[in-house]
A and B are shown apart, each in its own frame.
Chain A
Amino acid sequence: MPHRTFISFIWPSALAMMLFIALPIVSVAVQSMFIAHEQVIETVENCGPFGCKTVEVVNAEATARLRTDEPLGRFNGAGTYTNRNHLAFKEIGLALAEATGPVDFFGRILNLPFYKALAFTLTYTFIVTPLVIILGFVIALAVNRIPGMFKGPTIFFSLLPMIVTPLIGSLVLFWMIDSKGIIGATLQFLFDNPDLSLKASTTLTWLTLIVYGIWHSAPFAFVVFYAGLQTVPQDTLESAMIDGASRWQRVRHVVIPHLMPLAVFVTLIQLMDNFRVFEPIIGFNAQANATSLSWIIYNDLRGSDGAMLFGSAAATSMLTIIGVCILLAPVVLRTWRANRRAA
């Protein structure tokens, strides 16, 4: 296809991506280096019956005018990146100097908002992704054994956790694990502990979110693996059987190698999707015990603590984007090398 025709076909799509994906990344990068103007302080002389004294007051009008005139704020360089709410260099330095041991050190670091969110995001990503693959594979093997007429309904119900809106799916589970909901109340009864609550402790909150993540994503892995199972070469399976391979050996040495490329694909998609974990934290109302990178950006942009913190949100966004690139680099490189070898 000549270049001209190619461009005339692709320009609407390319323009959309340019304007609303590439440009916003630039906008994020710029915004991250600015912060809102400080309040305009004026020195006013206050005269009363006991003489005059000068006081400093905030000129609200001038502050508002300055902030509307220059919405971007003032230049702050890398200041936002290094402050307490982001990379917190000073606090880390302090922790390094003062900490009594590694436990104390990590305890201090994990109290900083960015590292707290990063810790949860990474834990979530690296626990959910492998478990999703294993669970999806086992479901696929199990579904593959049942008679054909049951397969349709089984796939229908299996798809639900993935298709349903993440916020809604997490709310549905949240209501069930509520201390007055069916699962929450049953757990209290089973453990004979009326104060048991999955929302109260950090560990249990993390566990809940991870279980939700596996529940939500397992259907995806299942469907992909199930489709892959339909194309497992029957001859290889049969010759393995003739050679006396056990059931497990056939799965291990024929089926799993056949599904390996699919597993790479599922891993790639899952890493991308789990790294942006966000809705379940809202749905489970878990922000007290678990925050993710996406959630702290949302929190800044919502202006929950007063004004909207564009600079702060932008800095976290940049760090998140860098995180995504690091996360994807090995997978992309691998695919690229495989591609080149194939070509």
Chain B
Amino acid sequence: MARKSPIWLSVLSLGFLVLWLALASVPFLWTLWGSFKVEADFFSRQDWRNALFGMRTLAETGATSTGLGYEGAWIKEEFWKATINTGIMTLSVVAISLTLGTLGGYALSRSGFRYAFWILIIALVFRAMPHITLVSGYLLPFFELNLWGHLTTTIIVMVAINQPFTLWMLHSFFQNIPKDLDESAMVDGCTRFQAFRYVIIPVMWPGVITTGLFSFLLAYNDFALTGLLLTEENRTMVPKIASFLGNAQEQGNVMYAVAAVVSATAPLFVLVMFFQRQIVSGLTAGAVKG
């Protein structure tokens, strides 16, 4: 813009932005730092600076920071198992929902019939269902059929719950790929499947990666399903952390939960760092296409 803005506006806007950034990031940095202290420091009533300098940690362990919380969470409470479960679950969910979603989304974007629109509207309504209302539909049948508690069941359920969103997202990405591309392949004698395989698949990866990121986040962050559908040994990270809270009264256990929380947040940090652009474009893709 040509005209310069008044100085007070710049200061106000910058001040506001700094405040927001502090609100958004300090809680995580604070918890990351505090996870290496003992409980008496992280929850220090007398002086908050204890958590920064670790005075009680020094007195209790002989150093100003300690890995006791991590040791307790990962080894004693077997958080590593939950990590493996989360790994298996998220990767399977992402792979399966993208496979189903690309096929479905492609069909929806190329159909041209009225029912494709209605399928999308139904998917939108399904997207709005609070997940926990569906869980109350699953539980009893799953108990009766002996399907309850397995990681596989949860994966399939999560793929299904993920479908409406995946379909919407990929549908709008495929609509951005010109129809001429696959149609000219079909004029040249390809079947629809061949056109999809040789023409569409090579150009669809940006959209698929973005959608995959959001499927990953949905599976990784879920608590409503994983908290109710998994047995104790099959628990993923988030319900495992919730289970730490139940016996948090015991001395030291709170720090296990803090360490576990930091451990579970770390992959998300890395994810945002590497895929920031895809996440931003994914959030806006739905909006721009309506």
Question: Interface residues, chain A, CB within 8 Å of chain B?
Answer: 1, 3, 5-6, 9-10, 12-14, 16-17, 19-28, 31, 71-72, 138-139, 141-143, 145-146, 152, 154-161, 163-169, 171-173, 175-176, 178-182, 185-186, 215, 219-220, 223-224, 227-228, 237-238, 241, 247, 261-262, 265-266, 269, 272, 275-276, 278-279, 282, 285, 293-294, 297-298, 300-302, 308, 310, 313-314, 316-318, 320-321, 324-325, 328, 332, 335
In the complex, the chain B residue whose C-beta lies closest to that of A222 is B20
The residues of A that contact B1 with a CB separation of less than 8 Å are 237, 241
Q: Is the CB of B45 within 8 A of A180?
A: yes
Asked whether B14 is an interface residue with its Cβ less than 8 Å from the other chain, the reply is yes
In the complex, the chain A residue whose C-beta lies closest to that of B279 is A159
Q: Is the CB of B280 within 8 A of A227?
A: yes
Closest beta carbon of chain A to B96's beta carbon, Å? 9
In the complex, the chain B residue whose C-beta lies closest to that of A328 is B128
Closest beta carbon of chain B to A213's beta carbon, Å? 14
A189 to B30, CA, bound (A): 20
The residues of A that contact B261 with a CB separation of less than 8 Å are 168, 171-172
Q: Is the CB of B20 within 8 A of A308?
A: no
Q: Is the CB of A320 within 8 A of B286?
A: no
Would you list 26 pairs from A and B whose C-beta atoms are within 8 A, ordered by A residue? A3-B113, A9-B104, A12-B99, A20-B157, A24-B138, A25-B134, A25-B137, A71-B144, A139-B20, A145-B5, A165-B268, A171-B241, A175-B31, A181-B42, A182-B51, A223-B279, A238-B2, A247-B5, A275-B130, A278-B224, A294-B132, A314-B137, A317-B133, A321-B133, A325-B125, A328-B128
The residue from B107, B139, B286 contacting A265, defined by CB atoms under 8 A apart: B286
A220 to B284, CA, bound (A): 9
The residues of B that contact A220 with a CB separation of less than 8 Å are 283
The residues of B that contact A24 with a CB separation of less than 8 Å are 134, 137-138
Q: Is the CB of A282 within 8 A of B242?
A: yes
A262 to B44, CA, bound (A): 44
A323 to B141, CA, bound (A): 25
Closest beta carbon of chain A to B273's beta carbon, Å? 7
Q: Is the CB of A297 within 8 A of B133?
A: yes
A158 to B17, CA, bound (A): 10
A171 to B223, CA, bound (A): 13
The residues of A that contact B25 with a CB separation of less than 8 Å are 157, 160
Segment 90-147 of B: residues with Cβ below 8 Å from A: 99-101, 103-104, 106-108, 110-113, 116, 119, 121, 123-141, 143-144
Closest beta carbon of chain B to A6's beta carbon, Å? 5
A310 to B228, CA, bound (A): 13
A321 to B245, CA, bound (A): 30
Asked whether B59 is an interface residue with its Cβ less than 8 Å from the other chain, the reply is no
Closest beta carbon of chain A to B18's beta carbon, Å? 10
Asked whether B187 is an interface residue with its Cβ less than 8 Å from the other chain, the reply is no
In the complex, the chain A residue whose C-beta lies closest to that of B237 is A165
A302 to B246, CA, bound (A): 13
With contact pairs A12-B103, A185-B45, A272-B128 given, residues A145 and B10 touching in the complex (Cβ less than 8 Å):
yes
Closest beta carbon of chain A to B90's beta carbon, Å? 12
The residue from B16, B100, B113, B276 contacting A155, defined by CB atoms under 8 A apart: B276
The residues of B that contact A12 with a CB separation of less than 8 Å are 99-100, 103-104
Q: Is the CB of A167 within 8 A of B238?
A: yes
Q: Is the CB of A139 within 8 A of B223?
A: no
Q: Is the CB of A215 within 8 A of B137?
A: no
In the complex, the chain B residue whose C-beta lies closest to that of A16 is B160
Q: Is the CB of B280 within 8 A of A223?
A: yes
With contact pairs A1-B111, A294-B224 given, residues A160 and B104 touching in the complex (Cβ less than 8 Å):
no
Stretch at the interface among B60-68, B74-82, B161-169, B202-210: B161-169
A19 to B14, CA, bound (A): 51
Asked whether B197 is an interface residue with its Cβ less than 8 Å from the other chain, the reply is no
The residues of A that contact B10 with a CB separation of less than 8 Å are 145
Asked whether B48 is an interface residue with its Cβ less than 8 Å from the other chain, the reply is yes
The residues of A that contact B135 with a CB separation of less than 8 Å are 297, 301
With contact pairs A21-B161, A155-B280, A163-B271 given, residues A335 and B139 touching in the complex (Cβ less than 8 Å):
no
Asked whether B189 is an interface residue with its Cβ less than 8 Å from the other chain, the reply is no
Asked whether B258 is an interface residue with its Cβ less than 8 Å from the other chain, the reply is yes
Q: Is the CB of B156 within 8 A of A20?
A: yes
Closest beta carbon of chain A to B143's beta carbon, Å? 7
Q: Is the CB of A17 within 8 A of B163?
A: yes
In the complex, the chain B residue whose C-beta lies closest to that of A176 is B27
Interface string of B266-290 (1 = CB under 8 A from A): 0011011100100110011011101
**Given A1-B112, A314-B136: 20 more A-B contacts, CB < 8 Å:** A1-B107, A1-B113, A1-B192, A9-B106, A13-B101, A20-B160, A21-B134, A23-B137, A163-B217, A165-B238, A166-B221, A175-B43, A180-B45, A185-B48, A241-B1, A276-B131, A276-B132, A278-B224, A302-B228, A318-B133
The residue from A145, A154, A172, A180 contacting B43, defined by CB atoms under 8 A apart: A180
Closest beta carbon of chain A to B133's beta carbon, Å? 4
The residue from B141, B196, B276 contacting A27, defined by CB atoms under 8 A apart: B141
Asked whether B9 is an interface residue with its Cβ less than 8 Å from the other chain, the reply is yes
Q: Is the CB of B103 within 8 A of A282?
A: no
Asked whether B159 is an interface residue with its Cβ less than 8 Å from the other chain, the reply is yes
A171 to B257, CA, bound (A): 9
In the complex, the chain A residue whose C-beta lies closest to that of B288 is A227
With contact pairs A154-B21, A158-B24 given, residues A181 and B43 touching in the complex (Cβ less than 8 Å):
yes
